[in-house]
Structure 1
Amino acid sequence: MKKTLLFSFLLFSVFSHSQEPVKIEGNAQGTTYHITYFDPKNRNLQPEIDTLLRQFDLSVSTYIPNSIISKINSNQKNVTVDKYFIACFKKAKEVWKNTNGAFDPTVYPLVNAWGFGPGKKQKIEQAKIDSILQFVGFDLIELKGNKILKKDPRVALDFNAFAQGYSVDVVAEFLNSKKIHNYIVEIGGEVYAHGKKPNGEHWKVGIEQPYDNKETENPYNVIANLENLAIATSGNYRRFFVENGVKYAHHIDPKTGYPTKNNLLSASIFSKQCIASDANATGVLVMGLEKAKQFLKLHSELQAYLIYSDENGNFQIYTTEGLNAILEKTK
């Protein structure tokens, strides 16, 4: 699954004297998770959450050979998809249409060719890219009931650009079912926060400065106060490689077959569902700044905090108006 920690949430030590938080953390989807919740019964729900995340991986992780998505990609017969796969597929189709193809999970063969997936990096030549592009396109695959139909057997899916966000929603739904109303869920940097802390404080999330950094956390650019809101960030500063002096980031443009090259460095999208934030963050980053601005004007259900580089190489910010009330500057 997605592997990058593009930002992390901030948990402060001051909590209500009447109730202590339950904090759990672990590993899932090739990354880590951190969950904090306030439960009057003080239950440890980690075993159930771990089971839930394992089931999720068995549906949509391309890193598990016997997952549903891996079976579909390898054209195994009579594969039946489950509720997790269906939710991912339907959201992907919606965002693919809305972004005019900037977000497209059929880029998986290209992701592998460039060395950003489970497959071994290939030698990149224009002829290679052109041959792969023939079977890249979300119009080449469809969902019929609980079965997947391909117009070309070489079509392969990659939900990693947004499935992690959806896993956050899945855990949030589980906590809701347990009558837990105040919590924050973070998986691999994607976050959903519900309610508030018992002392009335909002949950706080930091958005990083987009410095190239594969290993450690960057300083925060801004802090967001969350309540019943999801945030996901896509950026070009975590997963990349440099070859012959050229930087190649892991976001692939489905139209060109090459890693995106524009001045947009980081796209943080806020919405009511983390799956929507995650998928649209990827689409926005691929679009680039100017197209992203036009896209966001048409989609008021999304709020965005975009960090881009100006002609002098300095960081600049574009923010949609709906975020003004929840953002605070770092000290």
Structure 2
Amino acid sequence: MHKGSKKLAYTLSALFAGAVFGSGCVRTGDTVTTIDGFAQGSTYHIVVKSDRQRPEIQQAIDSLLGVIDRSVSLFNDSSLLNRINRGETDSVDAHIAYCVETAEKISRESDGMYDITIKPIFEAWGFTGRECDGDPDIDSLLRYVGHEKIRIENGRLVRTMPGVQIDLSSIAQGYSADMLARLLEEHGIEEYLVEIGGEIFCRGTNPSGTDWRVGIDKPEEGNFTPGADMQVKLSLTGLGLATSGNYRKYHTDSKGRKIVHTINPKTGYSEISNLLSATVIAENATLADAYGTLMMVIGLDRSIELLNRHPELMGYLVYTDDAGRFETYVSPALERHIIRD
């Protein structure tokens, strides 16, 4: 279970005319301000619909993303999360506490198929910038994995044994999108779309006065350009959305085996199934992010069962049938969000 040193797949692209990703780039029109930049090993893209310019927004965004980076990022060697993993401290901040506690609820529900203590396994397979050492001793590393081995208590991360480490990559960018949305609302902005690393939260309407339009990329190997070949377009507002998949993020080991980013925390090995991508729409991007990752681990049938148990979630699942043809499962409630033009 993981989304990798970068997100599992940038399978999500907001449909904006002339959207160009830059570094701290702000473009303002008559009623729209677009802000692009880089954060957490990926890009962010924010569109604000407003009749007033707010020059302080960029500074506030940069400040918030800096705070989150110094907290939950695995890219930042001095982040609080990395210092916790190295055993230098056990104190957590509000960002880590929220992500860990949210993850724990999903871990309990899924009987540990979603598990943020997967970091040693994921690292052993070479997905955190380190080379994979041939055949890693997965069995020896599995003793450090298990959501029941950690808990938050009085502002501290309590571990049942030394060596347990956490990786929030499967939830942190969704959380970051939600935090950016909250920031915008604190500045009086009520109509916006936030996208960071492919995770989205939007509210209100777009500049055309309709719900925001979001595209999900077709999960095919070789489809490396977001928006170039889309599976479906959705109309959304007041919701978070995240997509997980394996078709862009994988590597081949020394024996020629395809190692994908979706690692089963029970076995420590890649979980390969006919489910190619899972898009989840939820009340916030944090939940959408985590549930999307979980679905890639548990596969098509159990994902459909999960969606049936959670009417508050919507899902768009892309899979292959026995003949290798693309098929989709669409939650009934999601049908009305599909753009069919």
Equivalent-residue separation in structure 2 for 1:215 and 1:205 (angstroms): 17
The equivalent residue for 1:47 is 59
Q: Is residue 229 of structure 2 the alignment partner of residue 219 of structure 1?
A: yes
Q: Is the 8 A contact 1:2 1:161 kept in 2?
A: no
Of the three residues 88, 94, 98, the one matched with 2:99 is 88
Matching residue of 1:290 = 301
What is aligned with 2:22? Answer: none
**Secondary structure of residue in 1 paired with 2:291:** helix
1:26 and 2:37 correspond: yes
1:198 positional shift = 4.8
- In the alignment, residue 64 of structure 2 is paired with which amino acid? L
What is the deviation of 1:214? 7.2
Residue 138 of structure 1 corresponds to: 147
Determine the structure 1 residue equivalent to 2:13. 8
| 1:101 shift after superposition | 1.4
Report the counterpart of residue 310 of structure 1 in structure 2.
321
2:64 aligned with 1:57: no
Measured after TM superposition, the shift of residue 269 of structure 1 is: 0.1
- The residue type paired with residue 213 of structure 2 is K
Q: Secondary structure at the match of 1:70?
A: helix
Work out the CA distance in 1 between the residues paired with 2:234 and 2:332: 14
1:107 aligns with 2:111: no
Q: Which runs of 5+ in 1 are unaligned?
A: none
Q: Distance in 1 between matches of 2:45 and 2:311?
A: 29
Counterpart of 2:24 in structure 1 is none
Q: Distance in 2 between matches of 1:300 and 1:261?
A: 27
> In structure 2, what is the equivalent of residue 147 of structure 1?
156
What SS class does the counterpart of residue 328 from structure 1 fall into? Answer: coil
Partner Cα separation in structure 2 for residue 30 and residue 274 of structure 1: 18
Normalising by the residue count of structure 1, what TM-score does the alignment of the two structures yield?
0.93
Displacement of 1:19 in angstroms is 4.2
Identical-residue share of aligned pairs (%): 36
State the distance in 1 between where 2:298 and 2:111 align: 9
Report if the CA contact (8 A) 1:20-1:38 is conserved: yes
CA contact (8 A) 1:192 1:229 kept: yes
| Structure 2 SS opposite 1:2 | coil
* SS at structure 1 position matched to 2:336: coil
Aligned residues: 323
Specify the code of the residue in structure 1 equivalent to 2:307. L
Aligned to 1:186: 195
Is contact 1:102-1:284 (8 Å) kept? no
Which runs of 5 or more residues in structure 2 are unaligned? 19-28
The residue matched to 1:134 in structure 2 has which SS?
Answer: helix
The residue matched to 2:263 in structure 1 has which SS?
coil
2:121 partner amino acid: L
